[in-house]
Every structure is written in structure tokens, then in C-alpha cells.
Amino acid sequence: MFNTLRSKYVAIGLVFSLFLFFSPHLFSDSANAQGKLIGNIFQNDGTTPVEGAVLKIRNVSTGLYYESSSSDENGHFTVVRVYEGLYVAGITTDREDFNIENLIGIKANETAEISIALDPAQEEKEKKKKKGLIGFFLSPAGIAVIVASTVAIVYGVVKLTEKEEEASPFKK
């Protein structure tokens, strides 16, 4: 009987210990904790603010999407109630759209600050990247590959269609 009673106390003690071990995670609000993102948007010179630009961010793992209000005359924007995580970002202006190459990290209950300089030349580079193989074949190296391939194909076709002469000791 004493062993049975002792086993019950040990079992209750283990359950209570496990409960205490996991309780900080059960009662924490970290799953719902949110952060904030603030910053400024500038022209490519890095000093002229962009008014009316909108920052858009998307969480890499969950796909949650957030959008800032339009930037003010100082280029300042704010995104509030953002869940913790890594985000890709883009900026929409009245002229064009820009992608930001770096990831933005947001921590719960903290404010992240960034400054962004818009670079139209970067957008041109991205447009060239999108061309892919077409862009390569329009470059000097691509044209050289096309010419060399064409010459090799024509040479092969000519050699395959040549008639072989009959070998004869009487022909000169």
C-alpha cells in the first residue's frame, strides 16, 4: 500500500514538473506579439525624400502581407502590428515599382528602422535579368555562339551531302 501511494505521488510530481516546464510557453503571448517597422524612402541620391511612396512587405514563411501608409513629405513611413519574422519588401511610387533585395527582420515588441534609397538603374538590371536566354543571345557572346553554331551546322550538312568518289587506281 505504501508503494502504491508513493507511486501516485511520484506520478503527480512528474505531471506537475512537466506542467511547470512547459507553462512559460503555454501562457506567453509571443505567438501574438507584434512589432513595428518605420523608416524613410529617398531618391537615388540618398537625401531627397520621396513623398507618396508605399512600402509593401510579405512574410517569407507565412505569406502575410502588410502595407504602409503613403510616405509623408519627409519620406517617412510606418507599418504597425507586424508579426515577427523575415519579410521581402517592395516600394510603389507614382512613377514605378521597386524591389528591395535584402530581407527585413521584424522582432516582436520592437521597432525596426530602415532607410531606403530608390535606384532606377537597379530596376533596369532586373529587367535585363528577366530576359534570361534572350538577353544572353542578344549580347556579343551570345551572337558569337550563334555564328559558331551556324558555321558548324552548315559544315556538317555540306560534309554529309558530299558524294564520295569511287576509289580507283585508274583515275587521276
Report CA-CA distances (Å) from 105 to 37, 113, 117, 135, 167: 9, 10, 18, 34, 79
Cell readout for 69 is 501608409
When pLDDT is averaged across residues 94-111 and rounded to a whole number, the result is 89
Alpha-carbon distance 85 to 11, whole Å? 39
pLDDT in tens, 121-169: 655 665 666 566 777 777 788 888 889 999 889 888 888 887 776 666 6
Question: What are φ and ψ of residue 168, in 5° steps?
Answer: -145, 140
Classify domain 34-118 at the CATH topology level.
Immunoglobulin-like (2.60.40)
CA 133 to chain centre: 22
User: What is the structure's pLDDT at 7?
Assistant: 72
Beta-carbon contacts of 136 under 8 Å, excluding residues fewer than 6 positions away, are 142
Of 54 and 95, the structure prediction assigns the larger pLDDT to 54
Beta-carbon contacts of 122 under 8 Å, excluding residues fewer than 6 positions away, are 98, 101
Average pLDDT over all residues of the chain: 81
Q: Which of 41, 36, 117 is nearest to 77 (CA)?
A: 41
Of 130 and 111, the structure prediction assigns the larger pLDDT to 111
CA 13 to chain centre: 49
Alpha-carbon distance 75 to 101, whole Å? 20
Most confident of 12-26, 28-42, 56-70, 147-161: 56-70
Which run of H or of E encompasses 59? strand 54-59
